[in-house]
Amino acid sequence: ASGPVFGQIAANIDWINEKGEKDFTEQRSYMFLAGEDVRIIDIRSTFKFDEKDVTFGDTKEGGIVSVRTAATISEKGVNKPERLSGKRFNSAGKSGDDTWGQPADWCDYVGPVAGKTVGIAILDHPKNYGHPTHWHIRNYGLYTANPFGLAAFLKDAGKNGSRTWKKGESVEFNYRIILHKDDTKAAGIADQWRLYSDPPKFVVTEK
């Protein structure tokens, strides 16, 4: 579906293991919204475990939603590092390497593209499993919301972020990606998360 302001992609996905067997299914949708100075992508993934019990293991390399930034937004890289001047921020007030592995309502990666300051923010919905999620957000532009990788994030081998869903159960994850102009404060990312987490409610009554 699409229109002048929005577009939508929806897919039904079978997750197949190395034996060719279906482990579970996923219903995934992307809603694209266009504003004057912003682009928004709402992602919804519903996992249905109708075949068997399924465990999402504890690994920092996993997660539900990931992006890779433009090279110039990265804080560090292997090609022309002097041109890389991005910065990472999160809702807890941390920045740079201090954002890695930390729980937060949102993270924002900001830097220059074509001479302009832009950013990519990911917002974790408060009803998501593991909220506030931990973030595998690296200085080379890799950027993932990961509620499972607790052993690595907390630097404690005694922690286990694995989660098993029983046959017949389901779980839904929702995220909002905001591609914005200017820095985190000017783009109002904290306010955007509050709006996303508790949107205005409208009541229609008959007179």
Average pLDDT of span 24-45: 96
* pLDDT for the residue numbered 4: 72
Q: Which has more pLDDT, 45 or 200?
A: 45
Instruction: Report residue 19 CA to chain centroid gap.
Output: 30
The closest of 195, 60, 76 to 134, measured between CA atoms, is: 60
What pLDDT, on the 0 to 100 scale, is given for residue 20? 96
In a domain, 206, yes or no: no
Token pair for 152: 């690595």
Please name the residues in contact with 2: beta carbons below 8 A apart, sequence gap of 6 or more: 8
Mean pLDDT of the chain: 92
Please report the pLDDT score of residue 83 as a whole number: 58
Q: Which helix (H) or strand (E) holds 151?
A: helix 150-153
Domain count, the chain: 1
Residue 202: inside a domain, yes or no? no
Residue 35 pLDDT: 87
Taking the whole predicted model, whether its pTM rises above 0.95 is answered as no
Q: Residue 110 pLDDT > 60, yes or no? A: yes
- The 10s digit of each residue's pLDDT in 65-89 is 999 999 889 887 555 555 567 999 9
Query: Which residue shows structure tokens 């921020």?
Result: 89
**Contact partners, residue 200, CB within 8 Å, separation at least 6:** none
d(CA 24, CA 31): 23
pLDDT tens-digit map of 133-187: 999 999 999 999 999 999 999 999 999 999 999 999 999 999 999 999 999 999 9
Q: CA 192, CA 2: separation in Å to the nearest integer? A: 23
Q: What is the pLDDT of residues 173-194, one digit of tens each?
A: 999 999 999 999 999 999 999 9
**What is the spatial distance between Cα 118 and Cα 121, in angstroms, rounded to a whole number?**
10
Residues 6+ positions from 175 with CB-CB distance below 8 Å: 42, 43, 64, 65, 122, 123, 124, 125, 128, 145
- Say if 1 falls within a structural domain: no
Q: Is residue 168 left, alpha or beta, with left meaning phi > 0 and alpha meaning psi from -120 to 50? A: left
Residue 143 is assigned to a structural domain of this protein: yes
Question: Residue 2: what pLDDT?
Answer: 65
pLDDT value at residue 151? 95
Average pLDDT over residues 30-52: 96
Domain membership of residue 156 as a residue range: 6-197
Distance CA 154, CA 152 (A): 6
pLDDT for 200 equals 79
Distances (CA, A) of 9 to 28, 44, 57: 8, 11, 28
